[in-house]
Amino acid sequence: MTLREEVAIRKTFAIISHPDAGKTTLTEKLLLFGGAIREAGTVKGKKSGKFATSDWMDVEKERGISVTSSVMQFDYDHYKINILDTPGHEDFSEDTYRTLMAVDSAVMVIDAAKGIEPQTLKLFKVCKMRGIPIFTFINKLDRVGKEPFELLEEIEKTLEIETYPMNWPIGMGQSFFGIIDRKQRTIEPFRDEDNLLHLTDEYQLTESHPIESDSAFEAAIEELMLVDEAGESFDEDKLLKGDLTPVFFGSALANFGVRNFLNAYVDFAPMPGGRLTEEGDVIEPFEPDFSGFIFKIQANMNPAHRDRIAFMRIVSGAFERGMDVTLTRTGKKLKISRSTSFMADDTQTVNHAVSGDIIGLYDSGNYQIGDTLVGSSQKFSFEKLPQFTPELFMKVSAKNVMKQKHFHKGIEQLVQEGAIQLYRTLYTNQIILGAVGQLQFEVFEHRMNNEYNVDVIMEPVGKKIARWIENEEDIRDVMNSSRSILVDDRFGNKVFLFENEFATRWFEDKFPDIKLYSLL
């Protein structure tokens, strides 16, 4: 198979949603259809003892939520599909944002009863900004929720994107009968999936069935005729530009409507696309020279081996295990002899991968998030990945002074994952952690205890306004105070932690020559 043929069958997407919309459950069912797993363990597994394949971390299994981005690959209908299951919780949005930089399309899961929720809107805007094609799965139709037209209107108005329903539900909740596939003109019954019903072009059943006299069926047909009369056709170009979203109705937990979605997804989702470099060039997927970038680092995926994995998106060319690459940030040449693919915490060695694939590189400390790897003859860096300005801060120290070595190793490795940021006070070297949300601190404390066997003391510093300095050489000791704490970040850059907006403005007025800036 040529490189072009291999790349053409890759589909790489992220699943995004508000917490509890059913994102991880949908991921499980997609893996089930792909033959990657034999039995789906869902987030309901806290009671049953089964856990979602994509939730591999102890804290995720205990809470029934996703707090890391998992990567899974499976084959379906001659395609190789890479799924990135992202954290739904807003405290981990930075991890999700970076993950969205590594995919070619996104699947947005919406709870039929709740519609568009704040985190859904936030993540959608990132997709829209990057022009990522979005597929929408409206979940939990077997429960009472909003009417289909209301949901479509909400998506169009709130997200400012056109919708095209690929199927249509018949009833909902207790009266949910099934879905009508608009293209195939078939009805897939909810409780009798083998008994597929066929419709004529006028939405008449081709053979008699008791459903004909059902009020929910009659209402669904009337609604579908209204949709058809609106005359809007499916526009694949708009989909690929991110201006139209195909909408699917179903129930992931009941494993209903998922195959209907998956079949359409592989038909219409884009193959891997090019990526911009810092110099403004586009590196295309069919270019023969290898390139890729690191978008995630995860420590202790296998706690028994204290391993550390750098997740790489391949942008161009082919990866071969044992190949030599150059890390452009340092100019250092590396031989990649240990590489892996994922099924959450189940891994296997990767010998060959191409543009669009996500692979894991065993990391002894060489990589940072955002690093570019290229074939030895090239020199360029891909666009920088987003980094957020933290809002919450916490002093942290080891409860047992005899465990300082484990304490510092744990902090170093967890900070490198990017969810929390590390700062040190100038003279006392006190460690301060910064995060976007409180849950990140809770996960940090849990992981320090469980993965590094270190109990930590966490002292809240509270909300601060972090500002970096363009002209560090002009900083003077008098600027460091209780209202404007001067610290070093982990790269040695000076940062002011201001008490509040008033303190920030006061500083800017008093020291106008100091040029401050924030991250995203």
Tens of pLDDT along 45-102? Answer: 334 444 444 444 444 444 444 434 467 888 898 999 999 877 654 545 667 778 888 9
| pLDDT tens digit sequence for 287-343 | 999 999 999 887 665 555 556 788 999 999 999 999 999 999 999 999 998 887 765
pLDDT reported for residue 59: 42
- Determine the average pLDDT of the residues in 418-445: 87
pLDDT reported for residue 520: 66
| pLDDT tens digit sequence for 357-416 | 999 898 888 888 899 999 977 889 999 887 778 889 999 999 998 999 999 998 988 887
Q: Is the dihedral of CA 336, 337, 341, 344 positive or negative?
A: negative
Q: Are 435 and 443 in contact (CB under 8 A)?
A: no
pLDDT reported for residue 131: 87
Q: How many CA atoms lie within 13 A of 247 on its CB side?
A: 25
State yes or no: 198 annotated in a binding site: no
pLDDT of residue 344 exceeding 50, the answer is: no
**Mean residue pLDDT across the chain:** 85
User: pLDDT-derived band of residue 194, with 50, 70 and 90 as boundaries?
Assistant: low
The secondary structure element, H or E, covering residue 105 is: strand 105-111
Looking at per-residue pLDDT, the higher value among 369 and 268 belongs to 268
What is the CA angle 87-93-98, rounded to 5? 90
d(CA 111, CA 146): 9
User: pLDDT-derived band of residue 193, with 50, 70 and 90 as boundaries?
Assistant: low
pLDDT reported for residue 427: 85
State yes or no: 493 annotated in a binding site: no
State yes or no: 85 annotated in a binding site: yes
pLDDT of residue 177 exceeding 80, the answer is: yes
pLDDT reported for residue 87: 67
Does residue 438 sit in helix, strand or coil? helix
pLDDT of residue 504 exceeding 70, the answer is: yes
Q: Is the dihedral of CA 473, 479, 482, 484 positive or negative?
A: negative
| pLDDT tens digit sequence for 104-140 | 999 999 999 999 887 778 778 878 888 899 999 999 9
Q: Which amino acid is at 441?
A: F
Q: Judge residue 233's burial from the number of C-beta atoms within 10 Å of its C-beta, 0-12 exposed, 13-18 middle, 19 or more buried.
A: exposed
CA dihedral of residues 202, 208, 211, 215 (deg, nearest 10): 60
The model's pTM is 0.80
State yes or no: 19 annotated in a binding site: yes
**Alpha carbon of 42 to those of 54, 113, 267, 476: distances in Å?**
9, 20, 27, 56
User: pLDDT-derived band of residue 514, with 50, 70 and 90 as boundaries?
Assistant: very high
State yes or no: 23 annotated in a binding site: yes
b/e code 324-344 from CB counts within 10 Å (16+ = b): ebbbbeeeeebebebbbbbbb
Does residue 70 sit in helix, strand or coil? strand
Does residue 118 sit in helix, strand or coil? helix
Which residue, 212, 220, 108, is CA-closest to 168?
220
Q: How would you write 253-318 as a 3-class SS string?
A: CCCECHHHHHHHHHHHCCCCCCEEECCCCEECCCCCCCEEEEEEEEECCCCCCCCEEEEEEEEECE
State yes or no: 21 annotated in a binding site: yes
Residue 382 DSSP class: B
Does residue 17 sit in helix, strand or coil? strand
Beta bridge partners of 425: 487
State yes or no: 235 annotated in a binding site: no
State yes or no: 510 annotated in a binding site: no
State yes or no: 353 annotated in a binding site: no
State yes or no: 142 annotated in a binding site: yes
d(CA 291, CA 317): 7
pLDDT of residue 42 exceeding 50, the answer is: no
pLDDT reported for residue 430: 94
Number of Cβ within 10 Å of residue 217's Cβ equals 22
State yes or no: 87 annotated in a binding site: yes
State yes or no: 86 annotated in a binding site: yes
State yes or no: 246 annotated in a binding site: no
| pLDDT tens digit sequence for 150-165 | 999 999 999 899 999 9
Q: Which amino acid is at 57?
A: M
pLDDT reported for residue 51: 45
- Determine the average pLDDT of the residues in 461-484: 93
d(CA 109, CA 436): 23
